[in-house]
A = this chain, B = another copy of it.
Amino acid sequence: MLIVQKYGGTSVGSFDRIRNVANRVKSLHDEGHQVAVVVSAMSGVTDKLIGMANEMSDAPVERELDVLLATGEQQSIALLAMALQKLGVPAVSITGQQAGLRTTGSHTRARIDSLDAAVTKPMLEEGKVLIVAGFQGVNAEGHIQTLGRGGSDLSAIAVAASLEADVCQILTDVDGVYTADPRIVPDARKLKEISYDELLELASVGTKVMQSRSVEFAKKFGVKFEVRSSLNTNPGTIVIEEHPSMESVVIRGVSIERSQARVTITSIPDQPGMSARILKPLAENEINIDMIVSNIASDGRARHSFTMHTNDLGRAQAALKPVVDELSDTAKIETEAGIAKLSVVGIGMRSHSGVAAQMFEALGEAGINIGMISTSEIKISVTVPELKIEEAARVVHKAFKLDSVS
């Protein structure tokens, strides 16, 4: 098989850990697989480099920051290649540039434009183990660029796509994707597989397995990948394009997001353009809002509610005040903090009716009040009092029998 593995900064965070990774890679090579490994900078190195840049300038030019940061991964690949060679494995390190990873867009947060396997594929076929620097590439003008947060995951997906790998393994400090956070829901089970869209919806509500952009990138290029632990050799979770048999499971997982707050604006004249006028000052102040619910009250006036992180509540109120005053004499701002968001995600809900009812019923039976509700095609989210969020997660997890997923 042709296997692409990606190890993050923690996995190569010390000389011992690099040796550990080398041993894991050697096992795959010994079993006769073709292997390409994508690595991040050793943990702490990127921060140290940023510190050096800040010594030189309070606002270092991003092009130069990329040149500086790219050295972190370049060091990792050389060290891992050395560790493998010491074990007798014919490893060879490859920078993003050498791997033909072409980027586009802004420095420090570039996008992957293309990846050319002209250099890497023949090396693999010669029996070499490739150690590829994650997080970096060069743009069409030959400038080094980095890919921003989660960039090494992106690199791994791109390498897997270009090499037409059989497997792409994202090695991380979690075992895989669970039906819920096991620290909150002790019965949570590790999923064997999950669709890109389900993982995206779970990621957007706080399951921090991978950056959404990496999942989207994998989906775009149809790269199947597996999230698994770098500390053991247990199978992880396969992330894959959805297929019909996946729909037999109604709900794939439950996810929570804490520290939410709600803002409601009441008595808005029911005229076109009102929503935009309200949301604009929030966008200008870079306040991310999440759930948006709007309806018409019995007096014929509109109500808009939206949620955000509690930390943003004060700034949001300040930003909204002048707009609301302008809207009408009667419009008012109501706020509520101390709430949390509970979401259930699953492509199966498309073909199963009554999912929302089942969720609300379970919460109701547990005496947990629901605040706002919002739904997407494969997700239902509700707000509940923050004090009740863990209980709510357990109740819903049980209601959908996620503890017996195999």
Contact = CB atoms under 8 A, between A and B. Distances in A.
A64 interface: yes
Contacts of A64: 78-79, 81-82, 85, 93
A22 to B, nearest CB: 8
Contact of A71 (B75, B81, B85): B75
Interface string A69-98: 011001101110111011000001101011
A60 interface: yes
A171 B119 CA distance: 39
- Copies of this chain per assembly: 2
A68 B60 contact: no
A55 interface: yes
Chain A contact patch, size range: 35 or more
Contacts of A75: 49, 52, 68, 71
A344 interface: no
A170 interface: no
A142 interface: yes
A52 B79 contact: yes
Contacts of A63: 92-93
Complex A-B, nearest 6 residue pairs according to Cβ-Cβ distance, in ascending order? A68-B78, A71-B71, A56-B82, A67-B78, A57-B86, A15-B55
28 contacts: A18-B56, A49-B75, A52-B75, A52-B79, A53-B78, A53-B82, A56-B79, A56-B83, A57-B83, A57-B85, A57-B86, A60-B85, A61-B85, A63-B92, A63-B93, A64-B81, A64-B82, A64-B85, A65-B78, A67-B81, A68-B74, A68-B75, A68-B78, A68-B82, A71-B74, A71-B75, A95-B144, A119-B142
